[in-house]
Amino acid sequence: DVKVTQSSRYLVKRTGEKVFLECVQDMDHENMFWYRQDPGLGLRLIYFSYDVKMKEKGDIPEGYSVSREKKERFSLILESASTNQTSMYLCASSLQPPGANVLTFGAGSRLTVL
C-alpha cells in the first residue's frame, strides 16, 4: 500500500559529494514537494513541482536543485553536500484542486553529511 516511496531511508555522505534523493509516487498526483525537517525548525519547503519539468522554489532552495522528468518521479539534488545539509528529507505529493489537495508523504530519508 506504499504510495510515496523515497529511495533511501538512511544515507551517509562526505562533504562535497553530489547527492541524489529520489522520490516516486504511484497516485498520479500532479504536485510533488521536497521538505527538510530539523528539530526546532519544523518542516521547511525546499522545492515543489506542479507539473513535469516545472519547478518552483520553496522557502529554503539554496544549495539544492530538483528534477522532474516524469510525472511520478521528483528528485532532489545536492550538488555539493555540506554538513549543514544533514537533515531528514521528506517527499510529498498531492492532487491539483479541485482534487483533494492534501499531502501524502513518504517515510523520509535521513541524510548525514560528514
* Residues within the interface to another protein (CB under 8 A): 4, 31, 33, 35, 37, 40, 42-45, 48, 50, 58-59, 90-92, 94, 96-97, 101-108
Comparing CB distances to another protein, the nearer of 47 and 75 is 47
83: CB partners within 8 A, 6+ apart: 15, 113, 114
- Which residue number, 85 or 108, has a Cβ lying nearer to another protein? 108
The residue among 17 and 30 lying less far from another protein, judged by its C-beta, is: 30
Element (H, E) at 92: strand 87-94
CA 107 to chain CA centroid, Å, is 11
Q: How many whole angstroms separate alpha carbon 80 and alpha carbon 90? A: 19
Closer to another protein by Cβ: residue 59 or 79:
59
Minimum CB separation of residue 65 from another protein in Å reads 18
d(CA 74, CA 69) in angstroms, rounded, equals 8
Biggest CA-to-CA distance, the chain: 44
Nearest distance from residue 80's CB to another protein, in Å?
A: 26
Least CB distance from residue 27 to another protein, whole Å? 13
